[in-house]
Structure 1
Amino acid sequence: MAKEIEIDDNKIVELYMNACLLNKDNLSSVYAFCNYYEFEESKFYEYFTSFEALEMHIFKLFFTQTQSVLMNSKQYEAYDPKHKLLSFYYTFFELLTANRSFVVLKLKESKNKLEIIKKMQSLKEAFKLYVKELGIEKVDFKNDKINKLQDSSMSNLAWLQLISILKFWIDDTSTKFEKTDVFIEKSVKAGFDVMNIAPVKSVFDLAKFLWKEKGAMS
Structure 2
Amino acid sequence: MKNTQNISKQEILTAYMNHVLDFDNQPNSIHAFAKKLGIDEKYFYNHYTSFDQIAADVYVTFYEESIKLMMSEISYNELDSRNELLAFYFTFFELLTNNRSYVLSTLNKPTVDLKRIKVFIPLRNRFKEFIKSLNIETLDLKQEKINTLKEKSIEEIAWTQLLFTIKFWMEDTSPGFEKTDVFIEKSVNACFDLLDYTPLESIIDFGKFFFKEKIKSQY
Q: Same fold, TM exceeding 0.5? A: yes
2:29 is aligned with 1:29: yes
Q: CA RMSD in A?
A: 2.5
Distance of 1:79 and 1:93 partners within structure 2: 19
Scaled by the length of structure 1, the TM-score of the pair is 0.79
Identity, % of aligned positions: 39
Query: How far 1:135 sits from its partner (Å)?
Result: 1.9
Query: How far 1:45 sits from its partner (Å)?
Result: 0.8
Partner letter of residue 18 of structure 2? N
CA contact (8 A) 1:137 1:197 kept: no
Distance 1:183 1:25, change over 3 A: closer
Distance 1:41 1:106, change over 3 A: same
Distance of 2:23 and 2:194 partners within structure 1: 46
Q: Give the aligned length.
A: 191
Scaled by the length of structure 2, the TM-score of the pair is 0.79
2:12 is aligned with 1:3: no
The worse-fitting range, judged by mean Cα deviation, of 105-114 and 2-11 is 105-114
For residue 132 of structure 1, what is the aligned residue in structure 2?
132
Of structures 1 and 2, the larger Rg is shown by 1
**Where does the alignment leave 5 or more consecutive residues of structure 1 unmatched?**
141-149, 200-218
Partner letter of residue 41 of structure 1? E
Q: Which has the higher helix share?
A: 1
For residue 60 of structure 2, what is the aligned residue in structure 1?
60
Partner letter of residue 68 of structure 1? K
2:101 is aligned with 1:101: yes
User: Structure 1 segments of 4 or more deviating over 4 A?
Assistant: 23-26
Q: Matches of residues 41-80 of structure 1 in structure 2 within 5 Å? A: 41-80=41-80
For residue 191 of structure 1, what is the aligned residue in structure 2?
191
For residue 171 of structure 1, what is the aligned residue in structure 2?
171
**Where does the alignment leave 5 or more consecutive residues of structure 2 unmatched?**
141-149, 200-219
Distance of 1:177 and 1:23 partners within structure 2: 26
For residue 16 of structure 2, what is the aligned residue in structure 1?
16
CA contact (8 A) 2:2 2:38 kept: yes
CA contact (8 A) 1:3 1:40 kept: yes
CA contact (8 A) 2:114 2:163 kept: no
